[in-house]
Amino acid sequence: MPEINLSGLAYGGDAFGRDADGRMVFVPFALPGERVKVEIVEAHQRWARGQLVQVIETSPERIEPRCRHFTDCGGCHYQHMPYSIQLHAKAEIVRAQLERLGGFENPPVETTVPSP
Residue pair 33/6 in contact by the 8 Å Cβ criterion: yes
CATH class of 3-100: mainly beta
DSSP letter (8 states) at residue 111: P
pLDDT tens digits along 57-82: 999 999 999 888 888 877 788 899 99
Q: What is the reported pTM?
A: 0.89
Calpha distance 7→9 (Å, rounded)? 7
pLDDT tens digits along 106-115: 999 999 999 8
With a CB cutoff of 8 Å and minimum separation 6, the contacts of 75 are 69
